[in-house]
Amino acid sequence: FWPWIDPREQLKVVVDQLEKRKRGVLRIFGGAYPVGGGKTGTFLDPREALPESDRLQFEGFLPYEDLLHEYSGATAALDLARPNLERELSFSFRHLNYLHCGLPLVLAQHQAAATALEPAGAALAVDVTDDRAIRKAVDRLLDDPAAVEKMGRAARKLARTSYSWEVTTRP
């Protein structure tokens, strides 16, 4: 929840759709990071601006191996960052972790990762400025388990064939 990534408005839409459908849970791992250092730094708290809901759980920070275990039991991963230059240029470690764990991604269409992952069948790229597009993606995750399973297989395949340590460290 860095100031330039802030997905809280998009996550509100996700939680609202889960409530409307009376299905699913959004689990947020991590928390507020200090920006600017020390006690005087500013940060974005993921709990701010998000609704109280039984369909929203804040898990806090976890050791890396525990986090991967939790990811492996999930249905999909969301990365709904607002348009910003950093997200347009980066392909984050988080995305690679999701692929490794077999998680289909729902991500912003402007992200660099979307151009690689969606054509490979491992992601749904959405316009994060369009609430209907976000709701439609949530509905697909809830209503089409076969498609989600297929996307998860594509994610694992990409992790093995394109983004493994052995592949990415070759000369």
pLDDT in tens, 54-93: 999 999 889 999 999 999 999 999 999 888 887 788 888 8
- pTM across the whole model: 0.89
CA 102 remoteness from chain centre:
13
Lowest mean pLDDT among 12-16, 38-42, 152-156: 38-42
Condensed to tens digits (0 to 9), the pLDDT of residues 103-162 reads 999 999 999 899 999 999 999 999 999 999 999 999 999 999 999 999 999 999 999 999
Query: HEC string of 58-120?
Result: EEECCCHHHHHHHHHCCCCEEECCCCCHHHHHCCCHHHHHHHHCCCCEEEECCCHHHHHHCCC
- Show the CA angle centred on residue 60, arms to residues 58 and 66, nearest 5°: 115
CB within 8 Å of 76: residues ≥ 6 apart: 103, 104, 105, 106, 141, 148, 151
Q: Cβ(71)–Cβ(104) under 8 Å?
A: no
